[in-house]
Amino acid sequence: MGGTADILFGGLFQGSLYAMMAVGLALVWTTIGVFNFSHGVFMMLGAYFAWQLVTWGLPPFLAFPLSVLAMAGMGWVLQASVVRPLIGRSNLVLVVVITTLAAGSLIENGALEVWGPRSKQIPPLVSGNVMLGSIGVSLHQIAIILVTPLALGALWLFLNRTRLGLALRAVAQNEDASRLVGLNVTMLYGLSFGIAAALAALAGIFLGGYRFMSPVMGVDPLLKALIVVVFGGISSISGPIYAAYLIGFFEAIASYYFGLYWTPALLFAALILTLMVKPEGLFTPNRSRGLA
């Protein structure tokens, strides 16, 4: 019984973190059509910003939302500085890989300069532990499992039930037609980057609450998020969410039965097999770019 609980809990927990990261990446891809390689840096920066605010004496319930908001602003600024000037170029996708990687590297080393290499930790969302059946888990982890669907649900409602969300979905599908109904495409691009950065910051705050933080803490999650979006299909934001939880459970099962060392190899084997059978991603319906 302990095994099942372990797998269930581990899968939900990892899946939540992956979903949080991957959705932002997918959002930027669907709206602007570029991959943001500085996405992991926002996760790191969000966690460090929250840490700084808490160290200055702000209570976490203020520090965390402030940090998320600040990262939304940072995302907007980054988009305006290294993505927007390049829009319209035919080799946009590749150029933006370079510019976002460069910006990410600058910010990463900037963080190292400002906060130093020593590992830090931010307070958990909820402190304390509980016994869940036969396994002990922290309330922080449970909070993450519960907050993630809420955040993603809010994003879904925003995209599907508001006029601004409708505008974002429209831009994702046809830029010229969006201009012809009077949408502010530049603003919507900024917004999509801002939302993505805010989600990454939230993931960073989640992660910084139970693991030690370092300036390179975003590298690994970015790689995972890339795997998730490739696995789930990059044409929507629901695909990556399903894929995130699927990979979370896959890893939990693999590490339980085959051990931690085999897990990455098994995951990549599964990924390669999936892409051989369904190169457009596991949850891609028959259509072009678009948010749903």
Partner 1 sequence: MTGPMLSVSELTAGYGRITVLDKISIEAGRFGNVGLFGPNGHGKTTLLRAVSGLLKPRQGRIVFDGEDITEATSRAIVKKGLIHVPQGNTLFPDLSIADCMALGAYSPRARPLEDENREKVLALFPKLRERWRQRVATLSGGERQMVSIGTALMSHPKLLILDEPTLGLAPKIKDELCRSVLEISKSGVPLIVVEQDVEFLLELSQHLYFLNHGQVETEIKPGESLGHSEIMAMYFGH
Q: Which residues bind partner 1 (CB under 8 A)?
A: 163, 166-167, 169-170, 173-174, 176-177, 179-184, 287-288, 290, 292
169 or 224: CB nearest partner 1? 169
Q: H-type helices in the chain, by residue range?
A: 2-32, 39-55, 60-78, 92-115, 139-161, 163-173, 175-180, 185-208, 219-232, 238-257, 263-277
- How many Cβ atoms are within 10 Å of 24's Cβ, its own excluded? 30
Q: Please give the full DSSP string across 39-107, using - where no structure is assigned.
A: HHHHHHHHHHHHHHHHHTT--HHHHHHHHHHHHHHHHHHHIIIIIGGGTT-TTHHHHHHHHHHHHHHHH
Place of tokens 């505008």: 167
Minimum distance, C-beta of residue 202 to partner 1, in the bound complex (Å):
27
2 or 285: CB nearest partner 1? 285
Minimum distance, C-beta of residue 189 to partner 1, in the bound complex (Å):
14
5 or 86: CB nearest partner 1? 86
118 or 161: CB nearest partner 1? 161
Minimum distance, C-beta of residue 152 to partner 1, in the bound complex (Å):
19
Minimum distance, C-beta of residue 80 to partner 1, in the bound complex (Å):
16
Minimum distance, C-beta of residue 88 to partner 1, in the bound complex (Å):
11
Give the whole-angstrom CA distance, residue 169 versus residue 247: 26
Structure tokens at 175: 């830029």
81 or 162: CB nearest partner 1? 162
Minimum distance, C-beta of residue 181 to partner 1, in the bound complex (Å):
5
Bridge partners of 213, per DSSP, are 120
Q: What are phi and psi of 117, to 5 degrees?
A: -80, -10
171 or 252: CB nearest partner 1? 171
